[in-house]
Each structure stands twice: as structure tokens, then as C-alpha cells.
A and B are shown apart, each in its own frame.
Chain A
Amino acid sequence: MTQPESVVEVDIPVAGTPAAAVGGTAPSRRRAPWWLWAATIVVLVPVAVPILFLAARALGATDAAWNTLWSFRTLRLIGRSFVLTGLVTASATVIGVGGAWILARTDIAFTRFWGVVFALPLVVPSYVLALSFVSATGPRGLIADVTGFATPHLIGLPGAWLALTIATYPYVYLITAAAIAKIDPALEEAARSLGASPSRVFRTVILPQLRPAVGAGALLAALYTLSDFGAVSLMRFDAFTRVIYAQYSGRLDRTPAIVLSIVLVLVAGVFIWGEQRTRGKGTYFTRSAMRPPARHQLSTAQRFGAVGFLGVTATIGVLVPVAVLLSWLWRGITIGSDLFVPWKAIGGSLTAGALAAALAMMGAIPIVILAVRYASKATRWVERSVFMIFSLPHITIAIAVVAFTIRYATPVYQSILVLGLVYASMFLAQATSAAKASLLQVNPALEDASRSLGKGPIATYLRVTFPLMARGLLAGGALVFVTTLKELPATLLLSPPGFTTLAVRIWSAADEGLFARAALSSLILIGVSILPVYYLSIRPKHVLDT
């Protein structure tokens, strides 16, 4: 595999649909052992059962609850969410695809550096972005304090739009960049030799082939936006999640929150349906020649434009947040406010992340073996469920789990085990996609060879299959770890009493206006997240000539 150096190699699961099989998943003639199925069902239970319970409860809700649903206020809420999601998806797609094309197909310098910097906002949680934008702008913001010029206060829709665009474009970028790398350069050369200009090549050759990847990236951005809780709350934009949380925590009757969270799932369903409706058929790329593509030579003006585009994006996405956080921290130290290293929250975050990663990796193994070695209609449904759970808004999952455990599993209500299981189920798709990609590269003949050399099925899994898929599994685990660190709504609702994480600490400090305290935790959180992402981006390429 040759991939451009600029691409940070992170396997990002695409919400709604399982990643297309690369081959090697011919329908199996063998029957899966029962214990694989048993393990798979156990893995899916922690989220699937509460969600079904929630749906049942919403259907059985009183007329009054349904009446509030059809109020003018709810319809306006749906409208607002659509507007925000549409805006974010459009801008994230333009930035992500534009960046991917510039870095993969032009002769811009330092592609490796830009590639890493451009993907870096991935480690900054949306609420940290929102926090830094909110606290930097406005008449009493940091910029006004430092420069004396008051900028307009970024809050509400424009603020949420900007913060979520920065938070989501790296997903579009990474998915698109991986797809561009697979396009056969000969197609572009053919178009150029037929007289097409670079922009025409982009529109008529590259873009149509990227359609599945761009669609997947845009869908991911849309679902992320709909599901986001932290950024919209700090920006005081009344999106679905913020209203649900207010309904949930402010009232004794939780039925309205339950009904609204089910409606949120339906809205998410509209976007998934829309993406699948517009998906073209049979425009998948093939790559025959593994040679580097011709890079388009930029004119001086274009070069300035391209560097400016990358530079401004990276500045807003990385430099501004880090600068704002550092200066808040500095101010906190100089005015002698009550700052201390939040060891407890760090411990909580690491515990939660490690537990989630370990559980997700364990859970991914039976699912991936079923999906790859015993592919059937039933296993495709298992994969589909994993991705459906991944596309569910976290607040909905959290409310469902709370409602279910209070009623049927009081002993484990708000226990660390349930929290870990819920994280693992929510982010299972990240572990399964990474592990599936590496298991697909393991030729089943290797397992047959081991069997014919006298090793039984378990010895074969231990000595051949696992060593070969371990890297993919670990990469998936690292991704789950990072995602868990950033997670907010489920953590807020499901944390055991006395348990706290960096994410919760940032959110509550920012809510109370204690920016210096929020800044310290945010910087620590970014620092902790960078390590696994660094591991993901530099992991050595597999040498698997099978």
C-alpha cells in the first residue's frame, strides 16, 4: 500500500453503513461456532436493549407528551437543527474536500507538515473550540482585552456553526484523502491528454469517483452536528441536544425528554436516508498502477491562495484555541486564582478511556470474525446494528440507559461498569472497522495452512490470526480511547457519584465562567489525546504480501 505521506492514517468508521468489503468476504460455506454468536449478542445488549426500551416507552407515552411534541416550539427546534446541520455539513465538506485535493494533487510544499496540522483539530473537542471562541470574542473577550478592539461576540448560530465546522471537517478530509489516494492516476492523465483543464479534471474525473467518500464524510459531519451537545450548549444555541438536556435535568417528568430524544433519532435517520438516496451506483474507484499521481503545478497566486486556505483553517482550528487556552491559564496563574492539577479528573478520563478501549477491542473480535469469516445475511445485520448504534446521538443513548437501569437494573445504575460498556458499544464501530480492515487482509488460506500443519482452531487463532490483526485492533482501540476522552453527554448522565472526567470538568467550569480552570483541563485533555493520535498516524505500514 502506498499512501501519500500527508494522510493521517486513522480508520474512521462511516456512520450509517458498514465499510464496503474489500474482498475476501465471499459467503462462507462454514457454519459459525455458537460461542461467536453468543459473544456478539452480549456485546450488543448494553445499548440495543435500552434503546428498544426507550422506543417502547415513547410509543406508550401519554397524549399530553405527544401534544407538546407537536407544538410550535418543537417544530421550530427541528427547523433550527436542520439549519445548523445543513450549514456545518456544507462548510465542512468544502473545507475537507478542498484540503484533501490540495494536499494530494498539487505541488504545494511541506505536504507532510500540512497533512498533520490540517487534521489536528481532530484532537480538540468541539466544546473546547466553542469555549475558546466564546471567551476570545466580544466586548469583554480576550481579543478586546489584548488589542483594545472589540470583535463581535461569537455566540448562537454563527458561533456553533464555526466551532462545529472546525470540529467536523477533519473527518471529511481524512476520508476523502484516503479515497483520493486510491484513484488511478491514469484516469486523470487520460483526461488531461484529452485536453481537460485541471479544474475540469477535478469536476469530471476526481469528484464523481470521490462521491461515496465525500458522501460518507458529509454524513459523518451531519450526524456529529446533530449529536453534539457541548458546543451548542456553550454557544447557547437551542439545538435538540441542549433542549433535551434542559428538559431532562429540569423536570421530574422525563417523558418529554424521552420523546424528544426519539425524534432526534428520526431526524438523524432523515440524513442517513438522504445520503443513501443520492448515492450513485457503480462509481467506485479502482487502482491498478501503484505509482504517484502527477501533481498539478500551482501558479504563484494559486500557491498563495492554497497556503492561505490551509494556514487560516489551521490557525482557527489549532492556533487560536491553544493560544486562548494558554492565555487564560497564564491569567489564572498571575491573578493567583485557585488552580490545581485536576488529578482526579485525569484519573477518571484515563480509567474511562482505557476501560472503553479494552471492552471495545474484546467486543470487536467476535463480530469481526463473524463478519469476515462467516459472512451471511445475519452477520450483515450485526454490522448494520453496530453502525446504527454509532450514529445514535449520545444523549439519546444516555437517557435510554438511565431509564432502563433505574427500572430494571438498579444495582448497576450509574456504575463505572455500565459507563464503560456504554462507551464501548457507542464507539464499537471504530474498533470493528479497524479490526475488520486488518482481518480482511489476512488470507483465510493462512488459517487453512495452519490447520493442515496440525494446529487446531484455537491454536490457529492465537498463533496466526490474532498476531496478524493485532495492529488493526489496537488502532481501533486507540481511536475508541480518544473518542471516549472527548465524550460529554453520556458521561454527564451516567457517571457514578463522585466520578469525574476532564470533559465534565471543562464543561462545568466553562458553564460557570471559570475560564482559567477550564483552560487547564482542556490543555491536559488535548495533551492526553495527542499521544494515541500520533500513534495512529505513524504506525508502520503493514507488510502483508498474501
Chain B
Amino acid sequence: MTDTLISADRLSVTYGDTVALDDFSLDIPAGSLVALVGPSGCGKTTALRVIAGFETPASGTVSIRDRVVVGDGREIPPEKRNVGMVFQEYALFPHISVEENVGYGVRGADRSQRVHDVLKLVGLSDHRSRFPHELSGGEQQRVALARALAPGPDVVLLDEPFSNLDAPQRERMRRELRKILKRAGATAVFVTHDQSEALAIADIIAVMRDGRIVQTGLPDDVYEAPANPWVARFLGDAILMRGTVTDGSVHTMLGDIDTSLPTGTGVEVMVRPEWVTPHVHDSGACKVTDREFYGHDQRVEIELPGGDHVEALVPSRNRMAVGDRVAIELVDAIVYEVVDA
């Protein structure tokens, strides 16, 4: 991986009794688009605000390009960090035009050229003399992005960038945002509570829970190999089954699953619904009891011989109907050791 641009090291932030960040560490490689994802209240926005300089951590350090911006008794104010930020409700200055908003943080002789270039980059050259309230939600967001990019920051931080857009706009904007950021060659971190958004556009996702990072990696890796059952369930649908290891395998309703854990270990087995592959077969031991058809695929509820039910996500071409007898093949399964508190 390329050089680390921003490094957050063991940050902690508390408000009275609530812990917002707890031993939070994260490295952000130059040129990457990182998604900080977690349920609401997990501290992701606080992490952004600490990096930007709007909150002071009780302990820990943040460095940008190897320069400590907070920690070790130093604190550089937000205006001297060269960090761009796109706020959740955009925070466009209502009393000045689009052009003046975008040029607000730009200095120097080529200011108007820079504003022109950035507006072109986000595709809003025609709207330069409008005022923020005259723009649609998507346009406001692009102005906010242009304003953050205009001074040429080391990194752009985006706080829930899509939360104020309706569903169709959101899909379009996230594709567009990614393109703009890549074209600008920017490093960006965005915060979201929507795991599908994070998986869809990030180069790297960092999953947060209760103020700390639980797992970081490529979206594919984190989805396919979650660090624990909580991450598995947070990032997608998961079938979780408890059991105990006997002689190198765990007995579950979906059959025996091999493991290297010693006999007697309490485990939780995770299977994604798309890892369950049913085949229609007259002598199959299982039965289809319900089906939802989506077009590109279908969700099928299957009754197992023991009377339990599981859900499978099956390509549409594998045709089946309620009442069909099926046999089940398990593509993959992950075994976690149960760590009881």
C-alpha cells in the first residue's frame, strides 16, 4: 500500500460519562477513498471532527503528512490544518453566491481560475452566480464539495454526504462523488451509517463500534471475512449458528463444518445467504416454503429436515417454486470462537 497521509493514533474523546472515541487508531493512505462506517452514535463523526480540529481529544495524536496536528501538547487550529470538510447539511454560506462560496478559502492571484476549474470539475459552471437556496440538494452538495476541494487540501472529510438526498439522487451522487474525487486526485474520508454505501464506493472501509475501529480493509475482504459476528451482521445478512467443536468439526442445522479449533470450544458459525445453494431434486431432504423474486436474484426460505428454516439468496436462473423439494450445498462458512464476557 502507498504512503500513509493521515495517521490517527490512540485517540480518545469523552463527553461527561459517554465515551465517543476510545483508543481509536486509523491510517489513511494517500489518494484513497476511505469509508468510516458504523451504527449511529459509534463516534464516527467525532473522529472526523477531531481530524479537522473542531474537537480536542483527551489523549492520542493525529498527524497529517508526518506533522503532528494534535497531541504531544500541540494543537493546530482548524484553519491551519489544510483539511477540507463537507458538512452533513453542506453549510453553504447563505449570504454569498456559489462562486464566492467556492472561492472563500482560496488565496492568491489565480483565485478566479481555480474557482472556475473546480466548478467545472463538479459540473456547475453555469450556476456560479446563483445563491445556495436556489440550488437543488444534489447541486448544493456539489458546491460544498467544490468549496472543500478549491484550496487544494491534503484530505477532504465528508460527514454523511448523502444523508440529505433522496434515494435516486443518492445513487447518482455517490458514483459522481467518487469520480470527482478520483479526477481531483484527492484523499478523502467519508462517514456513513449505511454499509451498502460504504461497500459500494470506498477503496478501504473501516468499521467502527463503540468508539473504536473493529476492522479495516478492502470492502471485499471485510465482507467475505468479517472479523467477528457483529461485523458480519452489520455489513450484510448473516445466518449465525451456535455450537461446540467435537473432533475438528461443529454440528449445525446446515450440516457438519470443519474447524481447527480444539474439542469443547464454544463457537458461532456464520454463513451468508448467498453461500447456501439449493438444487431442486425430487428426493431432496428440504422444502421451499417461501420465495421473494427480485429479478436479478431471489430470496428463498427453506425448511430443513429438523424443522428449522434458513434463507438463501439464489440467482434467478436457478428456478424454484414454493413447495419444491431441494437439496442444499454450502459454499462457505466461517467459524468464530465465542468469547463470553
Question: Which residues of chain A have a CB within 8 Å of any CB of chain B?
Answer: 29, 443, 445-446, 448-457, 464, 467-468, 543-546
Contact yes or no, B52 A450, CB < 8 A: no
Select from chain A the residue with minimum beta-carbon distance to B153.
A452
Residue from B88, B93, B151 in contact with A454 in the complex, judged by beta carbons closer than 8 Å = B151
Bound CA–CA A440/B16 (angstroms): 25
Select from chain A the residue with minimum beta-carbon distance to B81.
A452
Bound CA–CA A448/B82 (angstroms): 13
Select from chain A the residue with minimum beta-carbon distance to B78.
A451
Bound CA–CA A443/B92 (angstroms): 10
Closest beta carbon of chain A to B18's beta carbon, Å: 11
Bound CA–CA A545/B53 (angstroms): 25
- For B147, the chain A residues whose CB sits under 8 A away are 449, 453
Contact yes or no, A545 B105, CB < 8 A: no
B79 within 8 A of A: yes
B84 within 8 A of A: yes
Contact A452:B15 (CB < 8 A) given known A443-B91, A468-B95, A544-B94: no
Bound CA–CA A139/B15 (angstroms): 74
Select from chain A the residue with minimum beta-carbon distance to B107.
A454
Residue among B94, B107, B132 with the highest chain A CB neighbour number at 10 A: B94
- For B132, the chain A residues whose CB sits under 8 A away are 545
Closest 5 CB pairs of A and B: A453-B105, A445-B91, A451-B78, A545-B133, A449-B91
Bound CA–CA A340/B79 (angstroms): 61
- For B15, the chain A residues whose CB sits under 8 A away are 29
Residue from A453, A545, A546 in contact with B79 in the complex, judged by beta carbons closer than 8 Å = A453
- For B151, the chain A residues whose CB sits under 8 A away are 453-454
Select from chain B the residue with minimum beta-carbon distance to A467.
B95
- For A546, the chain B residues whose CB sits under 8 A away are 89, 91-92, 94
- For B84, the chain A residues whose CB sits under 8 A away are 452-453
Bound CA–CA A464/B15 (angstroms): 28
Bound CA–CA A36/B236 (angstroms): 50
- For A467, the chain B residues whose CB sits under 8 A away are 95
Bound CA–CA A208/B151 (angstroms): 53
Contact yes or no, A452 B52, CB < 8 A: yes
Contact yes or no, B54 A451, CB < 8 A: yes
Select from chain B the residue with minimum beta-carbon distance to A448.
B54
B residues 52-91 touching A (CB-CB < 8 Å): 52-55, 77-85, 87-89, 91
Bound CA–CA A293/B110 (angstroms): 53
Bound CA–CA A456/B15 (angstroms): 25
Bound CA–CA A446/B94 (angstroms): 9
Q: Could you pull out 11 A-B pairs where Cβ atoms are within 8 angstroms?
A: A445-B87, A449-B93, A450-B93, A451-B77, A452-B85, A453-B147, A454-B80, A455-B105, A467-B95, A543-B133, A546-B94
Select from chain A the residue with minimum beta-carbon distance to B131.
A543
Knowing that A452-B148, A464-B93, A543-B94 touch, tell me 15 more A-B residue pairs with CB under 8 angstroms. Answer: A445-B87, A445-B88, A448-B78, A449-B91, A450-B104, A451-B77, A451-B78, A452-B53, A454-B80, A454-B82, A454-B105, A455-B79, A468-B94, A543-B133, A546-B91
Select from chain B the residue with minimum beta-carbon distance to A456.
B79
Residue among B55, B82, B95 with the highest chain A CB neighbour number at 10 A: B95
Closest beta carbon of chain A to B151's beta carbon, Å: 6
Contact yes or no, A445 B89, CB < 8 A: yes
- For B95, the chain A residues whose CB sits under 8 A away are 467-468
Closest beta carbon of chain B to A334's beta carbon, Å: 55
Bound CA–CA A118/B305 (angstroms): 81
Closest beta carbon of chain B to A10's beta carbon, Å: 23
Contact A448:B91 (CB < 8 A) given known A29-B15, A543-B133: yes
B residues 6-63 touching A (CB-CB < 8 Å): 15, 52-55
Select from chain B the residue with minimum beta-carbon distance to A464.
B93
Contact yes or no, B91 A453, CB < 8 A: no
Bound CA–CA A446/B147 (angstroms): 12
Bound CA–CA A29/B148 (angstroms): 25
B residues 254-293 touching A (CB-CB < 8 Å): none
- For B81, the chain A residues whose CB sits under 8 A away are 452
Select from chain A the residue with minimum beta-carbon distance to B20.
A29
Contact yes or no, A448 B79, CB < 8 A: no
Closest beta carbon of chain B to A427's beta carbon, Å: 28
